[in-house]
Structure 1
Amino acid sequence: MTSQDDDGEKRRRLVVTLMFMAIVIHRRLSKKNNHNLLSKEELLKRQLERERLLHKLIKGGKCRELICVSEQAFRKLCTILRRDGGLRPTQRMSVEEHVARFQHIVGNDMRNTMVSFIYGRAKSTTSRCFHRVLHAVVALESYYIQQPKGDVVPKEIQEKKRFYPYFKNCVGAIDGTHVRVKVPNRDAPRYRGRKGYPTINVLAACSFDLKFTYVLTGWEGTASDSRIVKDALKRDDKLLFPRGRYCLVDAGLPHTIELMTPYRGVRYHFVTTRLRPGSSKT
């Protein structure tokens, strides 16, 4: 027998071995899947339980307590996500259940495992549900987060004598806030700033009617507010200011034509204390 015949025999044995292993693995997976399959009666029972749960949640007066929004706001949110965000129901899950499960997670800081247990769903299903709603929420950015044009004076300033005409060119306020996050241990030092735990420093601008006009996330907790503002003014989707307009900021940000900071050493917030009878003010 030649060496070529030996090589051919080895290849045939290898192919037969791989085919045998594939058959064994396929049979084991088939048995596992068949074992996990539920009957139609069990699926129908779980579906009815989920419908009763949603009915009690929306119409039982516990909506605000459980998912942090009122019943009216919940219905309106479902309508907006369906109409503008592109959220669609699946074969076995309605838009309302999508949004309710999403609110359980973000409103109460619940884990996927707990939400899956409450609704009788698999953890992978809960994860896909969460990301569907998240993508729909992100799609609403162009509808609800719009930078000011500066063509009109906000009524919150125009209707109050102590603000008008002094702040007639002001279009809003800017500040930063730290949001707690979980990151790998090797990256934790970059995110652990003055809070003592890992955070991201989020820069947000809002108008005087308390609507967000710009949000920049992703910076580590150790990054200063002034550094983040400089990045917001240079990036492609940058923070815009109408000509001749400005925003109010705190002393941690730079003072420029477009950013107005308070005077150093001037006290703007007064704390009133209630004196006891017979005591004197020091």
Structure 2
Amino acid sequence: MNNYTNDNTARRYKAHVSILGTTQLHLRNPYIIAWWSAAFPGFGHLLLSKYLRGYALFIWEVIVNTNANVNASMIYSFQGNISMAKEVLDTRWLLMYIPVYLFAIWDSYRTTVDMNRFYVLAEREEHRFNSFSIGALEINYLDKRNPVVAVMWSLFIPGLGQLYIHRILTAFFVIIWLVIFYYNSHIQEAVVFLFLGKVKEATAVLNPEWLLFIPSHYGFATYDSYMNTVENNKLFEKDLRNHLSENYQSKAFRILKGQKVK
């Protein structure tokens, strides 16, 4: 592959390969990104590789949600107990929760629109970028990987799919918070009771407030690993095609439009 580095000689780069992962610009649907922010603030920004903003919003969601008893209120709403759903809400925390929740949705949508524009400009500029990075701790390179394998590992344990495609920052963040959610929800203990046929004990030991965090966590890890595997494959194929064209294709080679090759 090439030996180019992102040395700020171009206005925009489509991608950057570092020992911590591959970050790239590509077209995204703003509504899908906004939907993930609505499902869990921070997820939309993590999909955009806006890590610091994503981490801040994610941690904010967990802290304020648990203190405002939002998940507990949702559980009572699912059970049809509306009066109890209202009673458990802590308005002191809830009034802080709503503005940041709306900001996460709006900002992820706005950022996606901007990044799509930058992608179009970077695609026209076609400046080369580094495709191989080696350091004392890690090696990362553009390669083709199987999206189905990424999904499979994400369904086993969220974060493993990200490790498979070398999204180190997202992988560690997802795995650490999965452990926190598992521990506080007692889901592992409930699974053991289910294996023993003790359904009542399994239900009693669960902490539903923390349990509600887990489905969206699994969904995000699966979607993120699949989507980024597909986009990394596209980036690899285009980079390899450019490399072969520049170094191995005859300078006299031409494709004439409208004429059949005999």
TM-score > 0.5, shorter chain as reference: no
Q: TM-score w.r.t. structure 2 length?
A: 0.22
Q: TM-score w.r.t. structure 1 length?
A: 0.21
Based on CA coordinates, which of the two structures has the bigger radius of gyration? 1
By percentage of residues, which structure has more helix?
2
